[in-house]
Amino acid sequence: MTIQEASEHYQIPMNILREYESWGLCGVVKKVMGLWQYDDTDLERLSIIMTLHDIGFSSEEVETYMRLLLETEHSEAQRLRMLEQKRSRALDEIHFKEHQLQRLDYLRHEIYQSQKQPEGAKR
């Protein structure tokens, strides 16, 4: 499967495919007549890369994760640490957003309450 076919069939942006190729991690990818040929293993790796991008990994973090996955034996602890750090940051963001929603709801509540009061009783 060529880069164009992989991009269209699996809806993977070309920039991610080119990034993957530029890392030199495509050991099984063959260059045929000037075009990369992807096999099932490459497509599985690309799925991991897409997932990492989707959960907020930067390109540098994705490359580090993939190098650990493909080049380092027993890298599970390092990869798990990367995932735990990303998870912790995501939870911090969620908690911050929940706090914002609470404050927003408080202000909305205040407006609703003031609309219910008779004209002379408003502050």
pLDDT tens digit sequence for 78-123: 999 999 999 999 999 999 999 999 999 999 999 999 998 876 665 5
Neighbours of 87 (CB within 10 A): 11
Q: What is the CA radius of gyration of the chain?
A: 24
CA 19 to chain centre: 15
**pLDDT tens figures, 67-80:** 899 888 899 999 99
Residue with tokens 């070309």, as numbered in its chain = 14
**pLDDT tens figures, 7-33:** 888 888 888 888 877 777 665 455 665
pTM score of the predicted model:
0.71
Write down the pLDDT at residue 76. 94
Q: Residue 26, SS3?
A: coil
Residue with tokens 């404050």, as numbered in its chain = 103
